[in-house]
Amino acid sequence: MTENINTIYEDINNKLKRSGYRLTPQRQVTVETLIENNNELLIAEEIFIKVKNRNPSIGLATVYRTLDMLQELDIVKKIPYRDGMSRFDLVKSSNEYQTFYLLCQNCGKIEEIQEPILTDTEKRIEQEYRFKIMTRQLTFHGICQKCLKKEGYRSGE
Ligand SMILES: [Zn+2]
């Protein structure tokens, strides 16, 4: 699950270059912040606060624009959240990373998991439909462990 930070950073940098974008200092700080907080799903304001800690001269609009750009390039994913504030998640560049989300329909918590559960299915799809899968987005809806305990849900119901 641990991927070298420099590798991720280089991948993103290359993707930007290929798309004709420059990695400006503002973008660079935003990307670094996203990589460092890769294990958390943050809202735009939280990302902005972290970016500002590293470079106080960067404004909110710049961070928003950078997030928009990164989203267009499929570098980050915007995940709709129950409270109406979307969270941002870095897209794993390599296809071997299969990221899924577990969304608790009771408390709204989203957990990110990385499991190669679709490997066989994807191989079959690529062969049968002659379709090259680049990314995937899959969210399981259910009840989280905490809510299961608290609310006395029982499995199999
Ligand atoms: Zn829950």
Query: Number of structural domains, the chain?
Result: 2
The pLDDT of 79-103, averaged and rounded, is: 77
Pairing of the two strands 42-43 and 139-142 = unpaired
Give residues with Cβ within 8 angstroms of 148, minimum separation 6.
Answer: 155
Query: Where among 54, 76, 92 does a domain terminate?
Result: 92
* Residue 120: predicted pLDDT: 86
Ligand-binding site membership of 104 (annotated): yes
% helix / strand / coil in the chain, to the nearest 5? 45, 15, 40
**What distance in angstroms lies between residue 146's CA and the mean position of ligand 1's atoms?**
6
Same domain, 73 and 107: no
Residue 133 domain boundaries: 95-157
Averaged confidence pLDDT in the chain: 85
Closest C-alpha to 29, from 15, 45, 49? 49
Kindly state the tokens that stand for 10.
């280089």
**What distance in angstroms lies between residue 9's CA and the mean position of ligand 1's atoms?**
33
**What distance in angstroms lies between residue 151's CA and the mean position of ligand 1's atoms?**
9
Same domain, 67 and 106: no
pLDDT-derived band at 97 (thresholds 50, 70, 90) equals low
**What distance in angstroms lies between residue 148's CA and the mean position of ligand 1's atoms?**
7
The pLDDT of 115-142, averaged and rounded, is: 85
**What distance in angstroms lies between residue 143's CA and the mean position of ligand 1's atoms?**
5
* Residue 32: predicted pLDDT: 92
* Residue 92: predicted pLDDT: 65
Backbone angles phi, psi at 22, to 5 degrees: -100, 145
**What distance in angstroms lies between residue 82's CA and the mean position of ligand 1's atoms?**
12
**pLDDT tens-digit readout, 25-70:** 999 999 999 988 887 889 999 999 999 999 999 999 999 999 999 9
Ligand-binding site membership of 144 (annotated): yes
Query: Where among 76, 92, 108 does a domain terminate?
Result: 92
* Residue 1: predicted pLDDT: 38
Ligand-binding site membership of 147 (annotated): yes
* Residue 157: predicted pLDDT: 47
Closest C-alpha to 79, from 34, 43, 114, 117? 43
Same domain, 38 and 103: no
Pairing of the two strands 42-43 and 87-90 = antiparallel
Query: Where among 57, 92, 127 does a domain terminate?
Result: 92
